A and B are shown apart, each in its own frame.
Chain A
Amino acid sequence: MLEIKNIDAFYGDAQALWDVSLIVKEGEIVTLLGANGAGKSTTLRTISGLLKPKKGSISLSGVRLDRIEPYQIILHGLSHVPEGRRLFPNMTVWENLSVGAYIPPAWKDRSGAIEEMMEIFPTLRERKDQLAGTLSGGEQQMCAIARAMISRPRIILLDEPSLGLAPVIVERIFEVIERINHKGVTVLLVEQNAHIALQIAHRGYVIETGHVVMEGEANRLNQDEYIKQAYLGL
């Protein structure tokens, strides 16, 4: 479904990704593991067009995402929950979700879609008129995931949904991610917390200093000695 082939990406003159390739098949949860600064977020930013790759190609069901404008990417069914949630802090939860329905096909049906998300995240219903900037970290993450889901994407990119959250909340969020996946949404999940990511993922990639160094089935990565040592702290 999503195919990234040999991309190089740069921040100014500094190269951040070297020849990165990865594939996400329809219906999968694929996780991209790596330490801080390894290039995980950069990979997601390149997929959603915020960074243009210097080399290589990114295609989603045959559409070359690297050849269209960044704001058009969501129209092809790809949604991105960025690092740090990036909610609109001075807008209410309801307004944030409405902006999630900006693209014309979603706008018509936005109340239905918002309602559905509030079923999944009941706290968002309680907080719907509260400014997003005043939410707790967990609520913000839920709001960010909900906002990305409003446009009914086929694939969602999640950038460190567990970051800075209490373990209980992390568990709830990962349950929701699985639930979303069961509903037929493909997931590409970036995580530093390899332990929890490998629990729900089907397959995984490991990225180090901008290079993909390992890939495989989640249960195989879970057993791998190197992964155990470097990422699972066992």
Chain B
Amino acid sequence: MNLQLIVEQMLNGMVLGSMYALVASGLTLIWGTMKMLNFAHGELYMIGGYVLYFVLLLFGVHPFWGVLLAVLIAFALGVLMERTILHPLLDKPGWDVSPIVVTLGVSIFLQNFALKVWGERFKNVPYFIEGTMDLSGFRIAYQRILILIVAATVMVGFWLYVKRSRFGMALRATAQDREAATILGIDSHRIYLMTFGISSALAALAATMLAPLFLVNPWMGIPLLLKAFIVVVLGGLGSFGGAILGGFLLGCIESLAIVFLSSEWKDVAAFLVLIGFLVFKPAGFFGTKEW
């Protein structure tokens, strides 16, 4: 074991962690505005992977177009899901549980849909950019650098959007006090639609970036959703900053577990940290924060 290996693994951990952060910020966004958990989040991620795969397979265009289409389709699916299955449950008794039941249903449906229609074989997506960068002895694949750049850009952009734009302010206002927002002219249903769309788009974006590293398959969303839940617990449910910090932290913990133990231990380490947080710091780094 040497320093080079540790640094390389930490970098890989950050790469993976940045994607955990993207997936988790979608979860936390929905929790922050609607106080519900979306169990189909992982399947929106999966759809993102498949869209990229099929665009590359059928049209042979630059992966950029595949990513763009995946994000747009996931956005539309998120909006459709909110409108068709969640909207009717809003403001009805049982909101604590009903979204879990219906989104779990969607999750099962989409997994089996993918299995039936696209088959059980794992699909391979090529790297967007081949090659490895050599930084005075430390090697990192260009694909991974690309992931980091995309993650940083999207997170900063999203943060600014939520912080500064008219829509972002309306979103935070709705999250903090829906009735007060309504009085001021904000249509909360429109905010919820957009929230679902953006959340799903973030998941799909993460899937397209990770598709070359992992393989596209009907179950690819399951581990990611679990990881995203861990991240959200570490960071504090509903906190955007927490999702980002938690994402990077989890990525690094997993890499360190790989270096010092073995790759079989990485999930054990991740869940041990989760259990530790649940016992000693159940509110996470930033507590349950509203937007």
Contact = CB atoms under 8 A, between A and B. Distances in A.
B120 interface: no
Interface residues of A, number: 29
Contact of A88 (B166, B172, B187, B188): B172
B235 to A, nearest CB: 16
A75 B183 CA distance: 10
B166 A107 contact: yes
A103 B180 contact: no
10 contacts: A73-B183, A73-B185, A87-B177, A88-B180, A88-B181, A90-B291, A91-B172, A99-B181, A99-B186, A151-B185
B187 A147 contact: no
Interface stretch (A25-33, A64-72, A183-191, A198-206): A64-72
Contacts of B112: none
A69 B183 CA distance: 10
Contacts of B187: 69, 71
A99 B173 contact: yes
A99 B181 CA distance: 8
Contact of A99 (B169, B188, B289, B290): B169
Given A50-B183, A74-B184, A95-B169, A86 B177 contact: yes
A53 interface: no
B262 interface: no
B166 to A, nearest CB: 6
Contacts of B179: 50, 82, 86
A140 interface: no
A147 B182 contact: no
Interface string B179-217: 111111111100000000000000000000000000000
B176 A89 contact: yes
B273 to A, nearest CB: 27
B184 A147 contact: yes
B173 to A, nearest CB: 5
Interface bin, chain B: 20 to 34
Contacts of B181: 88, 99
B51 interface: no
A48 B289 CA distance: 29
A102 interface: yes
Interface string A160-204: 000000000000000000000000000000000000000000000
A133 to B, nearest CB: 9
B169 A71 contact: no
Contacts of B177: 86-89
Interface of B: 166, 169-170, 172-173, 176-177, 179-188, 289-291
6 smallest beta-carbon distances between A and B, as pairs: A86-B180, A103-B185, A74-B185, A88-B176, A99-B173, A71-B187
Contacts of A147: 184
Contacts of B290: 89-90
Contacts of B188: 71
Question: Which of A69, A72, A90, A103 is packed against the most chain B CB atoms within 10 Å?
Answer: A90
Contact of A102 (B176, B185, B289): B185
B183 A82 contact: yes
A80 interface: yes
A103 B121 CA distance: 51
A73 B181 CA distance: 12
Contacts of A48: 183
B176 A72 contact: no
A95 to B, nearest CB: 6
A72 B187 CA distance: 8
Given A90-B289, A102-B166, A74 B183 contact: yes
A100 interface: yes
A111 interface: no
Contacts of A209: none
A100 B176 CA distance: 14
A82 B180 contact: yes
Contacts of A98: 169
Contacts of A87: 177, 180
Contact of A70 (B169, B176, B182, B289): B182
A71 B185 CA distance: 4
Contact of B184 (A90, A95, A102): A102
A69 B187 CA distance: 9
Question: Which of B173, B188, B289, B291 is packed against the most chain A CB atoms within 10 Å?
Answer: B173
A97 to B, nearest CB: 10
Contacts of A102: 166, 169-170, 173, 184-186
A103 B172 CA distance: 16
Nearest to A157: B183
Given A50-B179, A89-B176, A90-B172, 14 more contacts: A71-B182, A71-B185, A73-B183, A75-B185, A80-B183, A82-B180, A87-B180, A88-B176, A90-B176, A98-B169, A102-B169, A102-B170, A148-B183, A151-B185
